[in-house]
Amino acid sequence: MALQNLDGHCVFSSEWNQHAKETYFQNYGEYPEGDITLNETKAKIPEKFDILCGGFPCQAFSIAGNQKGFNETRGTLFFDIVDIAKKHQPRVLFLENVKNLVSHDKGNTFEVIKNTLKEIGYAVYFQVLNSMTHANVPQNRERIFIVAFNEALVPNHADFQFPEAIPLTKTIHDFLETKQVDQKYYYKQDHMYYPVLSESMTSRDTLYQWRRVYVRENKSNICPTLTANMGTGGHNVPLLVDDFGIRKLTPKECFAFQGYPVNVLKMPEIADSHLYMQAGNSVTMPLIQRIGEQILEVIIKNTGCGVMDIQEKQAKWKQERPLFEAAFIHSHLLPFFNFNENTGDYEIKSEYENDEDRALSFNVLNTGWAMWLRAKRDAKAQAPEGFVLVSKEISLSALKEGLQYLPADCLSIDLEKAYLAIVKAQEQGHV
């Protein structure tokens, strides 16, 4: 999402956890490929792409003495990242890890990582950044970010700089629900720990953590580091006091503290434990976007590829983001139908035969929405080849009557009128 905000296009994703795959599908309309350590998964990676993004565990490294190099990374996920980089030669590797990666195994692990990347032709830059100092997100989350440039393709890589610190102007209240949440998140007064919690948790501006025998009070208006073990249950989820009692953060709030626009983020109907784990495993999205901006500046300066200036991109996104979010929320109101070249008609598909059909339809839908939003600037905007925008009335009527085909001349929609309707709905607070 962070790099998409900068007009990036994701061409491949990989995830082995089925619940994380479902969340990804809900938001992007496609299921990630599976285990990236398998050759059959790697074979699906497109030949050319610009940036490889990823993370990897450092615990699996086994290093003997002072041996430092590519061979010592075998059997780790980092080895697979390097394997992909060697084959596809992307311009940039953008990696994230826990801050302790630098000190793991007395610094040997990180030496292996740096030397291995240099060995395959990449210049390595790294820095530990905190979400609350570099992303204006009040979460105390320190992570190391590694940006490695392909020296042959990006000779001006020395121009790269990590983003500077920025003021923290937001508080936890910008990320918390203002209304009462589901009762399952509240502690009941007969809970065995309730007396200790109620005595210790006195501030509405503080998030707390239960630590077996005591309550830990965090800095005022700062969320503690969200971790994957929130998904293991118990008291790993930060606690707070609101107008209705003592409760845990909801999964939605945890994603908010990672910087996601929760008004458009879609969460599948899976157990909260999986959502908590996903939020804890995630990165802080605005921080990734800020680093991405710095990467883009270097790439654009080097390639002279005609990509618009980064400031222009930011202004464009700022203008279109509310409209995109409105459209994303209402995407079900504007179906797409496949064009049948043999009959000259637009074929209705009311059901998906398999997940691949479903994902394909979502991809085309998202492409169409991007086109539809730009109709305000181009009255001649056209739907993607082979697809057409269909009014809600026509589509519902056709589906109700069980039609399999519609004559092409009955399909039409006033793009400008539909666009203005979305804008008006936004202004009235309906979306």
| 138 and 58 belong to one structural domain | yes
Of 58, 223, 254, 305, the catalytic one is 58
Helix, strand or coil, per DSSP, at residue 44: coil
Residue 151 lies in a domain: yes
**Domain tally, the chain:** 3
Helix, strand or coil, per DSSP, at residue 116: helix
| 200 and 233 belong to one structural domain | yes
53 neighbors 16 (Cβ within 8 angstroms):
no
| 390 and 352 belong to one structural domain | yes
Q: What value does the mean pLDDT take over residues 89-110?
A: 88
State the pTM of this model: 0.70
Residue 405 lies in a domain: yes
Q: How many whole angstroms separate alpha carbon 302 and alpha carbon 368?
A: 32
Q: How confident is the model at residue 362 (pLDDT cuts 50, 70, 90)?
A: very low
Q: What's the token pair of residue 425?
A: 């709905």
Residue 423 lies in a domain: yes
Q: How confident is the model at residue 297 (pLDDT cuts 50, 70, 90)?
A: confident
Phi and psi at residue 396, to the nearest 5°:
-65, -40
| 197 and 243 belong to one structural domain | yes
Express as a percent the part of the chain with pLDDT over 90: 38
Q: How confident is the model at residue 18 (pLDDT cuts 50, 70, 90)?
A: very high
Which element (helix H / strand E) includes 413?
none
pLDDT tens-digit readout, 129-176: 999 999 999 999 999 999 999 999 999 999 999 999 999 999 999 999
Helix, strand or coil, per DSSP, at residue 216: strand
- Would you give the end-to-end CA distance of the chain in angstroms? 20
Q: What's the token pair of residue 203?
A: 């501030």
Residue 291 lies in a domain: yes
CB neighbourhood size of 127 (10 A): 14
Residue 271 lies in a domain: no
Q: How many whole angstroms separate alpha carbon 171 and alpha carbon 206?
A: 10
Q: How confident is the model at residue 295 (pLDDT cuts 50, 70, 90)?
A: very high
pLDDT at 67: 45
Q: How many whole angstroms separate alpha carbon 425 and alpha carbon 430?
A: 5
Express as a percent the part of the chain with pLDDT over 70: 64
Last residue of a domain, one of 273, 303, 333: 303
| 188 and 163 belong to one structural domain | no
Does 58 qualify as catalytic in the annotation? Answer: yes
Please give the residue range of the domain that contains residue 197: 172-261
122 neighbors 93 (Cβ within 8 angstroms):
yes
pLDDT tens-digit readout, 317-342: 555 555 444 444 444 444 444 444 45
Q: What's the token pair of residue 150?
A: 């392909």
Helix, strand or coil, per DSSP, at residue 187: coil
2 neighbors 288 (Cβ within 8 angstroms):
yes
Helix, strand or coil, per DSSP, at residue 398: helix
| 357 and 294 belong to one structural domain | no
CB neighbourhood size of 181 (10 A): 17
Average pLDDT score, the chain? 75
| 154 and 211 belong to one structural domain | no
Q: How many whole angstroms separate alpha carbon 412 and alpha carbon 74?
A: 57
pLDDT at 374: 41
| 156 and 212 belong to one structural domain | no
| Residue the block writes with tokens 């291995």 | 116
pLDDT tens-digit readout, 203-244: 999 999 887 667 887 788 899 999 888 877 656 899 999 999
Burial class of residue 400, CB neighbours in 10 A (0-12, 13-18, 19+): exposed
| 119 and 232 belong to one structural domain | no
Q: What's the token pair of residue 241?
A: 């006091």
Q: What value does the mean pLDDT take over residues 276-290?
A: 92
pLDDT at 29: 80
164-173, 342-351, 391-400: lowest mean pLDDT where? 342-351
CATH number of residue 214's parent domain: 3.90.120
Residue 232 lies in a domain: yes
Strand partners, 150: 122
Strand partners, 148: 93, 124
Q: What's the token pair of residue 329?
A: 């929320």
| 142 and 35 belong to one structural domain | yes
| 352 and 412 belong to one structural domain | yes
| 159 and 56 belong to one structural domain | yes
Residue 238 lies in a domain: yes
Q: How many whole angstroms separate alpha carbon 372 and alpha carbon 164?
A: 36
Helix, strand or coil, per DSSP, at residue 215: strand
Residue 191 lies in a domain: yes
